[in-house]
Amino acid sequence: MDKTWIGFDRARPGSRGVAQSRVGRSVKFTTVTLLLLFSASGVGAEEPDDYGTGNWLYRTCESKGEERGSDESYRQIFHAGECFGFVFGVEQGHLATATQRDQESAFCLPKGVETGQVLEVARNYLGEHPEGRHRPAASLVLMALAEAFPCEKGESP
């Protein structure tokens, strides 16, 4: 069975996978854009070797706060913002790219879904799928959102 790199079946005509393969191009564009944006920011300490992977995002999103006012607590606040910004950027970047290119989205957020829910979906997915955390973080976020918020036939974001 032929699988796309984000794990959707495109062998069956008319399956969601056919639309997802088009979305795969948007994922690549979004991933490259976000990685360039974050790498150019120059904020924070040295980048780890696995920057931009699921392992990096998992550590960033799972970091726990220390005593208030310590250097470590400020680092944790930075990581929490970095996690939020990355996940929200992938979500919004994908939706904007799919809309701009008149493509189907990999996911459809139901009305009333809050940003915190999207963040939890991404964090939970990373925690439940350690076998794939070596992959690009942006594609893992999209896979998490596609699994949690699939589009119904004919539905748009």
Can you give the CATH number for the domain in which 85 is found? 1.10.890.40
Q: Give me the pLDDT at residue 36, please.
A: 53
In a domain, 104, yes or no: yes
Report the alpha-carbon distance of residue 19 to residue 59 in Å, rounded.
32
Q: Is residue 3, in this structure, part of any structural domain at all? A: no
Interhelix angle for 137-148 vs 115-128, to 10°?
110
Within the chain, which residues score under 50 in pLDDT? 1-20, 22, 39-44
What pLDDT, on a 0 to 100 scale, did the predictor assign at position 5? 39
Q: What is the pTM of this model?
A: 0.66
Position 4 in a domain: no
pLDDT confidence of residue 30: 63
Cα(21)–Cα(113) distance, rounded to whole angstroms?
25
pLDDT at 20: 46
Per-residue pLDDT at 10: 35
pLDDT of residue 25: 59
In a domain, 155, yes or no: no
Round the CA-based radius of gyration of the chain to a whole number and report it.
Answer: 16
Q: How many domains does the chain have?
A: 1
> What is the span of the domain harbouring residue 111?
18-148
Distance (Å, whole) CA 131 – CA 103: 29
- The answer to whether the beta carbons of residues 17 and 24 sit under 8 Å apart is no
pLDDT at site 68: 55
Q: 144 lies in a domain? A: yes
In a domain, 153, yes or no: no
